[in-house]
Amino acid sequence: MFDFLQGTLSSLGRKYTMAVTGFLLGVFLLIHAVGNSFVFIGKDAFNAYAEQLHSLGPLVPVAEILLLIIFLSHIFIGITLFLKNQDAAGSRYAVKTSSGGETWGSRTMPWTGLIILAFLLLHLFNVRFVDQILPIADVVEQTLAYPLYTFLYLAGITA
């Protein structure tokens, strides 16, 4: 057990943990996007999907807590790795070259992560933490009736 913990806390272990938590978050976002795409079929289909999810009862809060742990772990480890890399780099190089397999995606990952985090918070405040009187399809329709929210949702989904 100690070896596992020690390995996880190493620089390489943290990078593996970032990869695993990032993969899990990506899988969640993909599944969630597929479920939310029921809104394009119609209000009844989307409401039925939402009711099916809520029928899982206590599994929903358990899943939400696990997702929160995964999100917070990913964010915390990402920040610590970033700061550690900054310390190790010292001063900036005079010439910036792309080496070591660095891609546009890997260079922009911190920014797309921040956009996704902002989008997630916007989504939670617009859909999850609202009065549950209206059917969810109506809540989504009312939210997207505002052009700014529509733009922010499109930006978040694109990220």
Mean pLDDT throughout 37-48? Answer: 91
Q: Does 20 share its domain with 79?
A: yes
Q: Does 107 share its domain with 141?
A: yes
Q: Does 51 share its domain with 113?
A: no
- pLDDT given at position 74: 93
- pLDDT given at position 36: 87
Look at residue 28 and tell me if it is in a domain.
yes
Task: Indicate the pTM of the whole model.
Answer: 0.77
Q: Does 153 share its domain with 120?
A: yes
The mean pLDDT value of the chain amounts to 85
Distance CA 46, CA 65 (A): 24
Which 3-state string (H, E, C) describes 72-138?
HHHHHHHHHHHHHHHHHHCCCCCCCCCCCCCCHHHHHHHHHHHHHHHHHHHHHHHHHCCCCCCCHHH
Q: Does 72 share its domain with 128?
A: no
Give the model confidence (pLDDT) of 1-36 as tens digits: 656 666 667 788 888 999 999 999 999 989 988 998
Distance CA 25, CA 31 (A): 10
Look at residue 91 and tell me if it is in a domain.
no
- pLDDT given at position 103: 82
Point out the domain boundary residue: 22, 52, 85.
85
Distance CA 18, CA 99 (A): 21
Look at residue 4 and tell me if it is in a domain.
no
Mean pLDDT throughout 136-158? Answer: 89
pLDDT confidence bin for 99, thresholds 50/70/90: low
Q: Does 31 share its domain with 80?
A: yes
Q: Does 19 share its domain with 80?
A: yes
Q: Does 28 share its domain with 68?
A: yes
Residue 29: left if φ>0, alpha if ψ -120 to 50, beta else—which one? alpha
List all residues 6 or more positions away from 134 whose beta carbon is below 8 Å from its beta carbon.
Answer: 142
Between 83 and 44, name the one with better pLDDT.
Answer: 44
Q: Within the chain, how many helices (H) and strands (E) appear?
A: 7, 0
Asked if residue 49 has pLDDT above 70, the reply is yes
pLDDT confidence bin for 106, thresholds 50/70/90: confident
Domain total of the chain = 2
What 95-98 contacts at long range (C-beta under 8 Å, 24+ apart), as own/partner pairs, is none
Determine the structural domain holding residue 130 and report its residue range: 103-159
Distance CA 142, CA 133 (A): 13
Look at residue 35 and tell me if it is in a domain.
yes
Look at residue 90 and tell me if it is in a domain.
no
pLDDT confidence bin for 81, thresholds 50/70/90: confident
Mean pLDDT throughout 80-88? Answer: 81
